[in-house]
């Protein structure tokens, strides 16, 4: 009975904050793995595959009875969520080969816009005035970050390709959030996470086989980084989003993801020397302020 009681009102916001901090390391670790020779598709496959393996004992222990009783519709929806999650990581991690961390993360987190539009048309969800204002402020900050970064010399040799791949990744993550919201209403977190991450890793493994992308033969440091991505950004970061889907709206979670460019850009400056201009700094402030406003709107 206790597990059916709603959590304290503040808890989902704290969980999302911890998840945002963990997920901000995703781009940094992906860049480091690419530096050790891991192809982007291999990075995505190892990240999700290792995460699925690590959570398997918990999923079978806590939710084995639920997994055995899955309906055909639930299995198909979960596979759909895994498919879009696989596409999200394949396109987004590849985008880091062509554009800067700031541009890639700013564009991939525009899923707020797509989730808000889809939630309105599919579910009839109309955000309140304060949340809508927070969305607008956050998006304006994201646009400033992208514009400023596109004018700098930090961007890669093919920034337009990288930016396009990041946007495609955003569309895919939006679909993943919307499908997951429906599934999480009736599935416990360990079962959903195991199914989503596991099916996504299988889709990526199939893509590696088709593309002749190897998963073996790399250095121990490369595999340690991949393991760090599975434990940190994936299990701690994304799982916090999945847990929160049952307690806050998908639109608000999309707003929270807009904080990722702030953390990732700061870490990129620390590890790779990717500095940011004054306009980008203003964009980061707008992002955080928009998230705060959206949190107030969600709390009401």
Query: Are 14 and 240 in contact, with CB atoms under 8 Å apart?
Result: no
pLDDT per residue over 210-268, tens digit each? 999 999 999 999 999 999 999 999 899 878 887 887 788 767 777 787 788 888 888 88
Position 2 confidence tier, pLDDT thresholds 50, 70, 90: very low
**Residue 291 and residue 131: Cα distance in Å, rounded?**
9
Residue 23 clears pLDDT 50, i.e. is over it = yes
How does DSSP classify residue 237? I
Mean pLDDT score, 70-85: 90
Closest to 293 measured CA to CA, from 162, 133, 63: 133
Closest to 100 measured CA to CA, from 226, 268, 266: 268
Handedness of CA 262, 263, 266, 267 (dihedral sign): negative
What are the φ and ψ backbone dihedral angles of 83, each rounded to 5 degrees?
A: -60, -45
Query: Are 56 and 238 in contact, with CB atoms under 8 Å apart?
Result: no
**Residue 254 and residue 115: Cα distance in Å, rounded?**
7
pLDDT per residue over 91-135, tens digit each? 999 999 988 888 888 888 877 677 767 777 777 777 778 878 888
**Residue 251 and residue 111: Cα distance in Å, rounded?**
9
Residue 299 clears pLDDT 60, i.e. is over it = no
Residue 154: CB atoms within 10 A of its CB come to 20
> Crossing angle of helices 40-68/72-95, nearest 10°?
160
**Residue 273 and residue 232: Cα distance in Å, rounded?**
23
Query: Are 74 and 187 in contact, with CB atoms under 8 Å apart?
Result: yes
Query: Which structure tokens are listed for 280?
Result: 């980008």
Q: In the chain, what is the straight-line distance between the N-terminal and C-terminal CA atoms, in Å?
A: 27
**Residue 242 and residue 102: Cα distance in Å, rounded?**
24
The residue with tokens 């999480």 is: 184
Kindly write down the DSSP assignment for every residue of 129-151, as one continuous string: HHHHHHHHHHHHHHHHHHHHHHT
What are the φ and ψ backbone dihedral angles of 110, each rounded to 5 degrees?
A: -75, 10
Query: Are 81 and 183 in contact, with CB atoms under 8 Å apart?
Result: yes
Position 149 confidence tier, pLDDT thresholds 50, 70, 90: low
């Amino acid at each position: 009975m206790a597990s059916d009681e709603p959590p304290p009102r503040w808890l989902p916001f704290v969980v999302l904050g911890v998840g945002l901090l963990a997920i901000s390391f995703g781009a940094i670790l992906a860049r480091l793995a690419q530096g050790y020779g891991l192809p982007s598709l291999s990075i995505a496959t190892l990240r999700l595959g290792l995460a699925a393996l690590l959570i398997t004992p918990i999923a079978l222990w806590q939710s084995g009875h639920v997994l055995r009783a899955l309906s055909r519709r639930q299995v198909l929806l979960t596979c759909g969520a895994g498919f879009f999650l696989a596409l999200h990581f394949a396109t987004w991690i590849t985008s880091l080969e062509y554009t800067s961390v700031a541009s890639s993360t700013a564009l991939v987190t525009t899923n707020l816009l797509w989730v808000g539009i889809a939630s309105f048309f599919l579910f009839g969800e109309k955000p309140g005035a304060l949340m809508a204002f927070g969305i607008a402020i956050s998006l304006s900050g994201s646009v400033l970050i992208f514009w400023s970064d596109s004018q700098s010399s930090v961007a890669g040799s093919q920034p337009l390709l990288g930016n396009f791949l990041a946007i495609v990744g955003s569309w895919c993550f939006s679909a993943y959030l919307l499908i997951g919201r429906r599934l999480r209403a009736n599935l416990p977190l360990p079962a959903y996470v195991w199914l989503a991450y596991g099916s996504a890793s299988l889709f990526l493994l199939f893509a590696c086989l088709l593309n002749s992308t190897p998963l073996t033969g790399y250095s121990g440091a490369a595999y340690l980084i991949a393991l760090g991505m599975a434990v940190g950004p994936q299990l701690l970061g994304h799982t916090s989003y999945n847990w929160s889907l049952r307690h806050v709206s998908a639109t608000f979670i999309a707003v929270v993801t807009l904080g990722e460019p702030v953390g990732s850009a700061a870490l990129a400056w620390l590890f790779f020397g990717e500095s940011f201009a004054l306009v980008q700094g203003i964009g980061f402030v707008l992002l955080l302020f928009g998230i705060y406003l959206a949190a107030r709107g969600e709390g009401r």
